[in-house]
Amino acid sequence: MSVLDIVQWPDPRLMEICAPVDAITPQIETLAADMLETMYAAPGRGLAAPQVGATVRMFVMDTGWKEGKPDPLVCINPMLQEVSEERVTNAEGCLSIPGVSADISRPAQVQMVWTGLNGGRYVQSFIGFSAACVQHELDHLDGVVTFDHLDPETRAALEAEYAA
């Protein structure tokens, strides 16, 4: 396993819509392991493939490890099946935009379906921080970054802060 370089905004790879993973190959397995190692080293709670330069529909996350409750997930070709009408606003950071945090409003609960490294299909509901993390990482697979959720004035201010 290797710690990979994390792509920094405004790298154009962060704006690309990622291609589906066609098969779980040894290369995908290695990428997943490297992404988990990179996420933990960063230290983050989620990391999408385009953040390490691979434009495929895969992300890893572990929202409990910092509290001593590790639960790593590798999500291949993830899709939301359901989203709640209730919304919550949380401060979100991003490993590709270090030092910047923005208040983002998202559905409070989501249900996601994905393929695991073993080829199995999984369906799980996520609430709270985990729901925000899932949605943040899914955004990366669609070429969306934190800045894209902001009104023009807030975005300009945070981009200036990031550039400073």
The residues assigned a catalytic role are 137
- 3-state SS of the chain is CCCCCCCCCCCHHHHCCCECCCCCCHHHHHHHHHHHHHHHHCCCCEEEHHHHCCCECEEEECCCHHHCCCCCEEEEEEEEEEECCCEEEEEEECCCCCCCEEEEEEECEEEEEEECCCCCEEEEEEEHHHHHHHHHHHHHHCCCCHHHHCCHHHHHHHHHHHHC
